[in-house]
């Protein structure tokens, strides 16, 4: 697992870090996604709700197969077959304060027009996302020409050079092919393409996967700087919670197609409320402080075709109670140990004010 610093996040960095401030820019309501049809249908996402606010970085974390990519691809109507959105709404709030638009019900022409202008995506695996037979400059200018045909070729070339410089690439590389760039440079090109039309929402699907730790750090710092300078909102998908601690304002943890915990990044680092979140945080070593044993998470994620009864996490949970195998917990504000504004947890421990976490498994402050 690649990691960056695991120290507690800086509460002063970012426009809305830890405050929950800002108007909604994208709101996902009760989104459900299935794969397949009939009796073979798999419920990959079940009534998931999330709100992204203006200027914030919302981290989305969890083990592979938990539904992170399915959530954002479903929300942007980019699900590959046999993916099927069975229910829900995805509301985009215009900058002018007008009525929100449900992306799932937009006509195709309106959807094409809004992509890259309102919402842009940096896909996982830059080499597979870039066309290997076209120069990177053309791939950037093609996106601009498609949405802004009134621009001249010279204007588009100037914009492409500006974007490359913005992400730390020599503008002279505008004539390079993807295979002539390093993995980190290709990922920066993908970020430049996503920012070409100055979108309000940037979705990043594990943009640092397969990069070394040094390049990962550079990419993350670039994203933070661009967000602060340009003011866009980010949904950042990763399996690496330690990375989100560095850059996210809020974090949502997914397990088996559901959100099991969400809240301010700093609070979730210091006091995780869901056993799964505790397990993820205990799976990576600290860079500072005394050494401690990493406990990790026993077992494997459940098969979505045959989920266990009750809470899907209970077979792996060290705090499981009889009710955990009988009923599915709902996402609520926690009550055990005092309420916390902005925190939501789906765990039966949080519905019992007397419930406590064994101290030997608690994450240090």
pLDDT at position 6: 36
User: Is it the case that residue 30 has pLDDT exceeding 90?
Assistant: yes
Q: What confidence tens digit (pLDDT) does each residue in 34-46 have?
A: 998 877 889 999 9
**For residue 38, is it within any domain?**
no
Element (H, E) at 219: helix 213-230
pLDDT at position 333: 86
Starting at the edge strand that comes first in sequence, how are the strands of the sheet with 24-35 ordered? 42-53, 24-35, 83-92, 101-102
> 336: domain range?
272-361
**For residue 161, is it within any domain?**
yes
**For residue 266, is it within any domain?**
no
Q: What confidence tens digit (pLDDT) does each residue in 115-147 have?
A: 989 999 998 776 678 999 999 999 999 989 999
Confidence of residue 160 (pLDDT cuts 50, 70, 90): very high
User: Is it the case that residue 227 has pLDDT exceeding 50?
Assistant: yes
**For residue 120, is it within any domain?**
no
Alpha carbon distance 5, 78 (integer Å): 33
User: Do residues 197 and 205 lie in contact, with contact meaning Cβ atoms separated by under 8 Å?
Assistant: no
pLDDT at position 360: 40
Which of the listed residues 171, 196, 221 is the one where a domain comes to its end?
196
- CA dist list (Å): 142 to 116, 153, 193: 12, 10, 10
Which of the listed residues 196, 224, 248 is the one where a domain comes to its end?
196
Confidence of residue 282 (pLDDT cuts 50, 70, 90): confident
Confidence of residue 20 (pLDDT cuts 50, 70, 90): very low
Total structural domains in the chain? Answer: 2
Which of the listed residues 196, 225, 242 is the one where a domain comes to its end?
196
Starting at the edge strand that comes first in sequence, how are the strands of the sheet with 250-255 ordered? 119-122, 201-205, 233-238, 57-61, 250-255, 258-264, 344-345
**For residue 184, is it within any domain?**
yes
**For residue 167, is it within any domain?**
yes
Indicate the range of 27-36, 316-325, 349-358 predicted with least confidence: 349-358
User: How many CB atoms within 10 Å of residue 1?
Assistant: 10
User: Is it the case that residue 5 has pLDDT exceeding 70?
Assistant: no
Q: 300-319 in b/e burial notation, b at 16+ Cβ within 10 A?
A: ebbebeebeebbbbbebbeb
Q: What confidence tens digit (pLDDT) does each residue in 183-216 have?
A: 889 989 999 999 999 999 999 998 877 777 888 8
User: Do residues 142 and 197 lie in contact, with contact meaning Cβ atoms separated by under 8 Å?
Assistant: no
Instruction: Summarize the confidence of residues 60-79 as an average pLDDT.
Output: 92
**For residue 259, is it within any domain?**
no
User: Is it the case that residue 9 has pLDDT exceeding 90?
Assistant: no
pLDDT at position 3: 39
Alpha carbon distance 17, 114 (integer Å): 27
**For residue 30, is it within any domain?**
no
pLDDT at position 335: 67
């Amino acid at each position: 697992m690649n990691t960056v610093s695991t120290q507690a996040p800086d509460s002063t960095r970012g426009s809305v870090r830890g405050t929950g401030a800002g108007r909604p820019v994208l709101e996902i309501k009760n989104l459900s996604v299935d794969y397949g049809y009939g009796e073979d249908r798999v419920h990959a996402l079940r009534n998931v709700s999330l709100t992204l606010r203006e200027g914030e970085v919302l981290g989305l974390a969890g083990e592979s197969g938990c539904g992170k990519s399915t959530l954002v691809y479903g929300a942007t109507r980019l699900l590959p077959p046999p993916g099927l959105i069975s229910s829900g709404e995805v509301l985009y709030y215009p900058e002018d304060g007008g009525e929100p638009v449900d992306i799932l019900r937009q006509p195709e022409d309106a959807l094409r027009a809004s992509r890259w202008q309102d919402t842009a995506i940096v896909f996982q695996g830059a080499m597979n996302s870039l066309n290997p037979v076209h120069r990177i400059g053309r791939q950037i200018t093609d996106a601009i020409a498609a949405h802004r045909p009134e621009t001249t070729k010279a204007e588009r070339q100037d914009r492409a050079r500006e974007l490359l410089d913005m992400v730390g690439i020599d503008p002279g590389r505008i004539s390079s092919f993807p295979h002539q760039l390093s993995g980190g440079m290709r990922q920066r090109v993908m970020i430049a393409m996503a920012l070409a039309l100055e979108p309000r929402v940037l979705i990043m699907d594990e943009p640092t996967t397969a990069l070394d730790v040094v390049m990962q750090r550079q990419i993350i710092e670039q994203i933070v700087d661009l967000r602060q300078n340009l003011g866009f909102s980010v949904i950042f998908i990763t399996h690496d919670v330690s990375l989100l601690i560095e850059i996210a304002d809020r974090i949502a943890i997914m397990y088996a197609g559901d959100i099991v915990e969400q809240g301010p990044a700093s609070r979730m680092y210091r006091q995780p409320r869901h056993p799964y979140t505790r397990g993820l945080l205990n799976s990576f070593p600290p860079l500072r402080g005394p050494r401690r044993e990493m406990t990790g998470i026993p077992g494997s994620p459940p098969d979505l075709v045959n989920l266990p009864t009750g809470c899907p996490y209970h077979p792996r949970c060290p705090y499981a109670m009889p009710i955990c195998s009988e009923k599915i917990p709902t996402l609520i504000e926690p009550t055990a140990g005092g309420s916390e504004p902005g925190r939501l947890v789906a765990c039966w421990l949080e519905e019992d004010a007397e419930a406590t976490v064994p101290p030997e498994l608690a994450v240090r402050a």
